[in-house]
Amino acid sequence: VDNEYFLTLQPTDNVVSTSTITVRVSDESMTTSSTFTVETKSGIPTIIKAPMDIVETEGNLVALFVEANGRPELNYQWFLNDTAIPNANNSNYVLAEASSSDSGRYSVIISNNDGRIQSSESLLTINKLIPIEQTTVVQEVGSNGEVILSLSETSENLIYQWYFGETGDTSNPIESATSSSYTPEPGNSDTSYWVKVSIEGGSTQNVEIVNSNTISIEGIPSDRYYFGEFDSDRGSFGILVRADNTAVFLAEITSPKTIIATVDMEIGSDGDFHYKSSELGWIDGQITGDSVSGKVSKRNISFAGTLSVSDGSTNSLAGFYDAPIANTSDGQIYLLAGPNETSYIISGSGDTFSGMEATLSEDGILSSISSEDTQLSISLNNTKGTLSGTTSIDGTEFNVLGLHEEALPENHLVNTSVRAQVKDGAGVMIAGFVIQGEGEKEVLIRGVGPSLTKLNVNNPIEDTTITLYKMGETAPIAENDDWGDSDNSIQISNSSELVGAFPLESSSKDSALLLSLSEGVYTAIVTNNASSEGTALVEVYDVDEANDINNGMELVNISLRGEVGSGEKVIIGGFVVQGDSPKRLLIRAMGSELSNLDVPKTLNNPELSIYRTTDTGTELINSNDSWDSSDPELLREAATITGAFPFEEGSGSAAKVIWLEPGVYTAMASSADSQSGIALIEVYQLP
Q: For 591-604, how does the pLDDT look when each residue is reduced to its tens digit (9 = 90+)?
A: 888 888 788 888 88
Inform me whether the pLDDT recorded for 206 exceeds 60: no
Q: 161-170, 331-340, 576-585, 646-655: which range is least confident on average?
A: 576-585
- SS3 sequence, 190-212? CEEEEEEEEECCCCCCCCCEEEC
Find all residues with CB under 8 Å of 58, minimum gap 6, and list them.
Answer: 97, 98, 99, 100, 126, 127, 128, 129
pLDDT in tens, 370-390: 556 567 889 998 877 889 999
- pLDDT winner (highest mean) among 509-518, 578-587, 609-618: 509-518
Q: What is the pLDDT of residues 88-138, one digit of tens each?
A: 999 999 999 888 889 999 999 999 888 899 999 999 988 877 777 777 888
Residue 205: pLDDT over 50:
no
30-71 per-position pLDDT tens digit? 888 889 888 776 578 889 999 999 988 888 889 999 999 887
CB neighbours of 166 closer than 8 A, spacing ≥ 6?
192, 194, 214
Q: Find the range with the poorest average confidence among 69-78, 128-137, 242-251.
A: 128-137
Give Cβ neighbours of residue 337 (< 8 Å, ≥ 6 apart).
314, 317, 318, 319, 320, 321, 343, 360, 380
Mean pLDDT across the stretch 275-285?
Answer: 90
pLDDT on residue 100:
84
Residues in the chain: 687
What DSSP assignment string belongs to 256-293? TTEEEEEEEEE--TTSEEEEEETTTEEEEEEEETTEEE
Coil, strand or helix: which one is 50?
Answer: coil
Give me the pLDDT at residue 204, please.
43
Cα angle, residue 291 at apex, residues 285 and 297 outer, rounded to 5°: 20
Given this model, what pLDDT does residue 458 score?
Answer: 79
SS3 state at 315: helix
pLDDT of 511 reads: 94
54-57 and 122-127 strand pairing: parallel
CA distance 387 to 402: 5
Region class of 310: left (phi > 0), else alpha (psi between -120 and 50), else beta: alpha
The H or E element containing residue 491 is helix 489-499
Nearest alpha-carbon partner for 90 in 104, 105, 77, 103: 77
pLDDT at 644 over 70: yes
201 pLDDT more than 80: no
Please state, in angstroms and rounded to a whole number, the distance separating the CA atoms of residues 556 and 97. Answer: 72
Share of the chain above pLDDT 90, in %: 35
φ and ψ at 425, to 5 degrees?
Answer: 65, -130
Q: pLDDT grade, residue 188 (50/70/90)?
A: very low
pTM summary value: 0.60
Predicted local distance difference test score (pLDDT) of residue 189: 53
Alpha-carbon torsion, ordered 407, 413, 415, 419, to 10 deg: 150
Q: Measure the CA–CA gap between 250 and 227, rounded to whole angstroms.
A: 10
User: Contact at 8 Å (CB) between 355 and 235?
Assistant: yes
Per-residue model confidence (pLDDT) at position 370:
55
Mean pLDDT in residue range 472-488: 92
* 533 close to 461: Cβ distance less than 8 angstroms: yes
Task: Of 190-194, 439-443, 517-521, 667-671, give the lowest mean pLDDT range.
Answer: 190-194
Name the residue with higher pLDDT: 273 or 7: 273
Summary mean pLDDT of the chain: 85
Rounded CA separation 680/50 (Å): 89
